[in-house]
Chain A
Amino acid sequence: MQRLQLLSVCRNKVQLSQLSRHIFGFCRQLSTSNRHFTDSQNKDYVVSRVFHNRNPRNLEKLALAKKRTGWTYQAPRRDYYHKLVICHTNRHTEAYVQHFSGEKVLSASTNEWAVRNQLYSCTDVSASIAIGKVLALRCLQSGITSLFYDDAEKPSEKTSCVLQAFKEANIALTEPTVIEAEYRPGINYDGYNRYAEPKEWKEDYQDV
Chain B
Amino acid sequence: MALSATSRSCIRLTARSVNIQPVRFRWKPPKIEDNVFPSHAERLAEWNARYVAPASQGINIGFYNNHSESRSQKLDMLKKWTVKRKQLEQAARHKTLKIDLDLMKKDWMAESMPLHVKKMATHYGLFSDLFDGAHFHPIVPLSVSFDYDEEFITPVYYGNVIPAAETAVKPFVSYESAEDNLWTLVMTSPDGNLEDHNKELLHWLVGNIPGANIERGVTVCDYLQPFPPKGVGYLRYAFVLYKQERELDFNQWQRPAGCLSLRERTFSNFEFYRQNEDSLTPAGLSFFQSEWDKTVTSVFHHVLDMKEPAFEFIHPPFYHPEQLEFPHREPFNVYLDKYRDVKDIQEEVLREKLKHVDISKPASRQQYPCIDLLPKETPSWLKSKIQLMRQGREQWRDLFEKP
- Interface size of B in residues (CB-CB distance below 8 Å): 104
- In contact, A12 and B309 (Cβ under 8 angstroms): yes
Q: Is A54 an interface residue (CB 8 A)?
A: yes
Chain B's closest residue to A145 (CB) is B161
Q: Is A185 an interface residue (CB 8 A)?
A: yes
Residues of A within 8 A of B125 (CB): 2, 5, 54-57
Q: Is B26 an interface residue (CB 8 A)?
A: no
Chain A's closest residue to B101 (CB) is A137
Interface residues on A, range: 35 or more
Write the A98-109 contact mask toward B (1 if CB under 8 angstroms, else 0): 010001011100
Q: Which of A11-70 contact B (CB under 8 A)?
A: 11-15, 23-24, 26-27, 30, 32-33, 35, 37, 40-48, 50-59, 61-62, 64
- In contact, B307 and A33 (Cβ under 8 angstroms): yes
Residues of B within 8 A of A126 (CB): 91-92, 95, 97
- In contact, A55 and B191 (Cβ under 8 angstroms): yes
A9 and B334 CA atoms in complex are apart in Å by: 30
Looking at the complex, which of A72-80, A85-93, A148-156, A192-200 is the stretch in contact with chain B? A192-200
Main DSSP-derived SS at the A contact region: loop
- In contact, A42 and B315 (Cβ under 8 angstroms): no
Residues of A within 8 A of B398 (CB): 24, 26
Could you say which of A41, A130, A145 has the most chain B C-beta atoms within 10 Å of its C-beta? A41
Looking at the assembled complex, report how far the CB atom of B38 sits from the nearest CB atom of chain A, in whole angstroms.
15
- In contact, B313 and A45 (Cβ under 8 angstroms): no
- In contact, B394 and A183 (Cβ under 8 angstroms): yes
Which residue of the partner chain, among A57, A64, A197, contacts B124 with CB atoms under 8 Å? Answer: A57
A to B CB contacts below 8 Å, 24 in the list: A2-B57, A2-B133, A10-B231, A23-B343, A24-B349, A32-B300, A32-B308, A37-B305, A40-B304, A53-B191, A54-B125, A55-B289, A57-B125, A113-B111, A114-B105, A120-B93, A121-B85, A121-B92, A143-B288, A184-B342, A187-B320, A188-B342, A194-B319, A207-B316
